[in-house]
Structure 1
């Protein structure tokens, strides 16, 4: 099959591409670099002109005055000039309903061209989108990235992006995509309730993880247990980093001779990975039911990850033993869970082994690619 994957956030489409190639297909990715992670792509729509020093000054000035980022316009223009290459695919899949990340009107124009020139278009729900956002806003007691804001409206400046997803121009994109797409696929349990009632919903297909690129290392303890917390200032409250930081303050005092705590923020990716690889325990996020890509990759390496692992997750995968630690926004709970692991390091080893086995069984990139192929072909 000739397959076009539009957009990339977390290496999802790259891992899917690798699985599809193993199965004898011909996938291509069009995306921008997603910042410092710089994910591989076949057709880059990354802005380059806006990185020029003089142009960047203009870009920053325009953004301060209007909150409009002209780099998004460059994404769209680069996609426009590649349109002739995006025709006659058997399947096109969008990373979400707005995969190009340009201005709303231009996005809708470009998306229509993709629908006009290709056979089937599928949409993923794996992040913020119209249905998920509206569902989470209406279910304040549900764990979600919006829960901190719903419980504390003073955090509104960290959630200004939600207004864009609720705007009339964005709604036009959502309505067009859902009217015309072949199907909707969700990638984990955090999105299923919001989307399962849609007539376009097909199924949940877990994230593909290429374990061949992620080396498992059984945990070895030399002097101290190393706990890693990577801080992203843009998702600080959405991921519950404030709860993790408060818990770590207590842990550092309680076990000062037994633990090493690594905190990172805004460092080069290579340095980030090097520090992350040294750790035994990784603190990911506290407002999810299931794991995202960062957590899954760490689990594949044998880390003990504090992330979403609610009862719904355990039941969905028929698990009787923990493959990660369910994180919740409760400092005392997090301190207790961390204390247990520090005092019982053999449990760190056991969870790490189970984590790797779980990823190999449920997230194998070739198995997941085959699930996508069946879903695309049968609809």
Structure 2
């Protein structure tokens, strides 16, 4: 089978491709390199308007003439790549806005790729209309919109994804859902909003190639090392302010027992290497499940603070605090969990091993790739 994977977010499609190839299929990833993260893709769509002057020019032209140079550039690149992007049995889009273009351009690109290939599917693994609308209706106990509801982020902040519930993006959502053969969710944060949708084919956990991620057994000699990686663009959305408040609390009580490593907005490869020396990784607060950064850290054997809500515990049938620590939007609660681990280092060793085994079992790229094949072929 030939599979075209459109768009990239962290390494979602890269690992699915590697699983498909291991199963004897052909796959190609086309997309942006995911901003500063610099994620590898097979065919990169260049962002030609990221420099200061070109960005200003683009903004001015759009304000005056409603012409978006970036969107036009992306569409033209796709058209020139038609021979390489045609004739696939399956095409799967990473999101409703795979190239971060204007909605009318995303619609045009979707229509082109859809017409050049066989069945089409959507992977819901980032902000989109269903997840943002669900959060806006406050159906989650907390979500990426919680900082917005608490007046800590302006409505204009792009990290909230509020653009996806505007009329133009809602129209794009409707157009895509009318055309696709199905949508697949990648974790509980996207599964829950889509659970009862007629096009939803179910959840396939984020694929991780654990063969490429060596497990390193934790060695605790002196201090417990805590890693906090910050993406400044998503600072409040990820709950970095909550983590920083928790770290201040724990430093006040146990400064002699801990070391804190803090990095900000670094490329993906640098980020992954930076937490090698850590025992604990602080990932994100406002989620029910883990994303790629958390899972790769867990695969390495780190003890991760991320989403692990009751819905996640029930879905996988695992005990609380045995694989990952649920990071509540409460600095004191996080500090208490940190203190528990600092004072009971044997728990770190147990969770570390459990985390690696969980990722290997539930997120293995070959197992996940087979699940994709089953859903694609069954639709």
TM (norm. structure 1) is: 0.93
Counterpart residue number, 1:371: 371
1:58 matches 2:54 = yes
Distance 1:150 1:319, change over 3 A: same
Counterpart residue number, 2:171: 172
Q: Secondary structure at the match of 2:87?
A: coil
Q: State the distance in 2 between where 1:280 and 1:223 align.
A: 12
Distance 1:125 1:267, change over 3 A: closer
Counterpart residue number, 2:31: 31
1:74 matches 2:73 = yes
Q: How does 1:73-222 map to 2 (within 5 A)?
A: 73-139=72-138, 141-152=140-151, 155-159=154-158, 162-222=161-221
> For the Cα contact (< 8 Å) 1:185–1:203, is it kept in 2?
yes
Q: Secondary structure at the match of 1:203?
A: strand
> For the Cα contact (< 8 Å) 1:183–1:201, is it kept in 2?
yes
Distance 1:320 1:267, change over 3 A: closer
> For the Cα contact (< 8 Å) 2:182–2:201, is it kept in 1?
yes
Tell me which moved more, 201-210 or 114-123: 114-123
Q: Secondary structure at the match of 1:287?
A: coil
Q: Secondary structure at the match of 1:278?
A: coil
> For the Cα contact (< 8 Å) 2:160–2:237, is it kept in 1?
no
Distance 1:149 1:230, change over 3 A: same
> For the Cα contact (< 8 Å) 1:140–1:147, is it kept in 2?
no
Cα deviation for residue 258 of structure 1 reads: 0.9
Cα deviation for residue 254 of structure 1 reads: 1.2
> For the Cα contact (< 8 Å) 2:37–2:266, is it kept in 1?
no
Distance 1:64 1:277, change over 3 A: farther
Cα deviation for residue 231 of structure 1 reads: 0.8
**Between Structure 1 and Structure 2, how many residues are aligned?**
375
Tell me which moved more, 81-90 or 244-253: 81-90
> For the Cα contact (< 8 Å) 2:68–2:102, is it kept in 1?
no
Cα deviation for residue 222 of structure 1 reads: 2.6
Counterpart residue number, 1:255: 254
Cα shift readout 1:256-281 (whole Å, capped 9, x = no counterpart): 11100111113455543332111100
Distance 1:298 1:106, change over 3 A: same
> For the Cα contact (< 8 Å) 2:132–2:162, is it kept in 1?
no
Q: Secondary structure at the match of 2:144?
A: coil
